[in-house]
Copies of this chain bind each other. A is one copy, B any other.
Amino acid sequence: MTESAKRITLAARPNGEPKPSDFKIESYAVPTPKDGEVLLRTIWLSLDPYMRGRMSDGPSYAQPVPIGGVMEGGTVSEVIASHNPGFKVGDVVLSHAGWQTHAVSDGKGLRKIDPSAGPVSTAIGVLGMPGMTAYTGLLDIGKPQPGETVVVAAASGAVGSAVGQIAKIKGARAVGIAGGKAKCDYVKNELGFDECLDHRDPDLAAKLKEACPKGIDVYFENVGGHVFEAVFPRLNAFARIPVCGLIAGYNATEAEVPKWAGSMMRAVLTKRLTFRGFIVSDFAARHGDFLRDMSQWLREGKLKHREFVTEGLDSAPAAFMGLLKGANFGKQLVRVGPDKA
């Protein structure tokens, strides 16, 4: 095959917000799978906030993408050639092929997706990493009890939207925070949160107090920044704070010392708070429970989700830069190729 493939590599480590020149679009020859390998064609690429971390070389839970390396990312891909007995041409798989149109794989880490079970894009969305981040962080760390109040930011996004809906399914009160009226209306009216506040509202702290008359028992932390400033004084005794992301700070060039920092440990003590950081792979053992519950809730209409799609691999850098600023409305996906070649 000498067909041309396309990939996006990391050209430079961003200083603050990523800019177009930090990415490079390259052509390459479609690779040929060796014995035991398969050739994958990307259908969907997932864009997620964690990727900002991979662009920097600071200490983190994962290695950074090297300069010149293909940007990392989860994909839904189709097997278009196979020298691996475990896969046949036409299989649709969940992969970690990254920001590129084609990739070879030895089959390790691939998981087959059943296209008859629903749209395959859900495998990188509500039934994939973002959904499982919501499910495990909320249920295994947040542990919301009936009648308790759960607050989550980025509430129209892939993780936040699932957090609030699962909280409602478990009998808790769900208060979302999102950017702008359209997103807030969607969160409240479509997703069924009890309330949704605009994080740009200068009265956020006062409105949050009003929306949480019994305080906050679980704050699912995926943004950081000024939202947590508003949340912190409202935390109840024994509140749980699962921490899976701090998107508001990902583009920061220096660590800003937040206002609550001076009283943080004292509050941990006097309110007996639990802060716990996690990433989804920490709860790998829960994958079966996650798929069973979330699939059922989707079928029953208790769990809704929304996708925000940009077209073509070339759109990925701009879409990703937008994601970090909340320009997406729903799970950010890139349509890299058609469902069927």
Residues of A within 8 A of B (CB): 53, 59-61, 221, 224, 228, 237, 243-246, 249, 255-258, 261-279, 282
The reply to whether A276 and B268 form a contact with Cβ atoms under 8 Å apart is yes
Instruction: Using CB atoms, name the residue of chain B closest to A259.
Output: B257
* Cβ-closest 4 pairs across A and B: A261-B261, A255-B262, A257-B262, A268-B277
A266: chain B residues at CB < 8 Å are 246, 249, 255
Question: CA separation between A59 and B263, bound complex, in Å?
Answer: 12
A269 contact set on B, CB distance < 8 A: 243-246, 277
Interface residues of A, dominant DSSP? mixed
Contact B246 A265 (CB under 8 A): yes
With both beta carbons as reference points, the residue of chain B lying nearest to A267 in the complex is identified as B277
Is B262 in contact with A243, judged by CB distance below 8 angstroms? Answer: no
What is the distance, in angstroms, from A237's C-beta to the closest C-beta of chain B? 7
- Chain B's closest residue to A249 (CB) is B266
Residue in contact with A276 in the complex, picked from B53, B270, B274, CB distance below 8 Å: B274
Given A61-B237, A237-B61: A270 touches B277 (CB 8 Å cut-off): yes
Interface CB pairs A-B, < 8 A, 8: A61-B272, A243-B269, A255-B262, A272-B276, A272-B278, A273-B275, A274-B276, A275-B276
Chain B residues lying within 8 Å of A224, measured Cβ to Cβ, are 265
Given contacts A60-B270, A264-B264, 19 further A-B pairs with CB under 8 A are: A61-B237, A61-B272, A221-B265, A243-B268, A243-B269, A246-B265, A246-B269, A249-B265, A249-B266, A255-B263, A256-B262, A257-B261, A258-B261, A258-B262, A261-B261, A270-B277, A272-B278, A273-B275, A274-B277
Q: Which residue of B lies closest to A61 (CB)?
A: B270
A262 touches B261 (CB 8 A): yes
Interchain CB contact under 8 A, A272 and B265: no
Tell me the complex Cα distance, A265–B282, Å: 18
The one of B243, B268, B270 in contact with A265, judged by C-beta atoms closer than 8 angstroms, is B243
Closest to A250 in B: B266
Using CB atoms, name the residue of chain B closest to A260.
B261
How distant is A328 from chain B, measured CB to nearest CB, in Å?
21
Determine the distance from Cα of A173 to Cα of B269 in the docked complex, in whole angstroms.
25
Residues of chain B within 8 A (CB-CB) of A221 are 265
The winner among A257, A265, A268 for most chain B CB atoms within 10 A is A265
